[in-house]
């Protein structure tokens, strides 16, 4: 039994995980709406790129992350997030690193 003393009742992690899994499997999701991220997320700006991981500054992106952002910029130039200034900066950094 794994429990964390937090002043609350001890929680059995295995039991909690099983219940969470059962709830996920029993759920019947319903699509409510589809919107561009810039309309749906109050803090979204044209310079923000949504990823599957933690937020990163451009300077912290490496290798494949940068390649994907540059590729997205090439495909989506003129889209909601891909301003030419951002795209040109990304290409300049990529070219400086990879030639």
If phi > 0 it is left, if psi is from -120 to 50 it is alpha, else beta; for residue 7 that is: left
The mean pLDDT value for 66-71 works out to 80
pLDDT of 4-40, one tens digit each?
A: 555 456 778 899 999 999 999 999 988 888 888 888 8
- pTM equals 0.36
Contact between residue 48 and residue 40 where contact means Cβ atoms under 8 Å apart: no
């Amino acid at each position: 039994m794994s429990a964390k003393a937090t002043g609350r009742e001890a929680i059995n992690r295995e039991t909690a995980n099983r219940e969470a899994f059962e709830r996920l499997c029993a759920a019947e999701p319903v699509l409510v709406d589809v919107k561009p991220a810039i309309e749906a997320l109050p803090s979204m700006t044209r310079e923000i790129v949504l990823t599957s991981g933690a937020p990163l500054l451009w300077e912290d992106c490496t290798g494949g992350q940068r390649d994907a952002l540059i590729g997205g910029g090439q495909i989506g130039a003129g889209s909601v997030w891909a301003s030419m200034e951002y795209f040109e900066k990304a290409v300049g950094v990529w070219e400086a690193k990879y030639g």
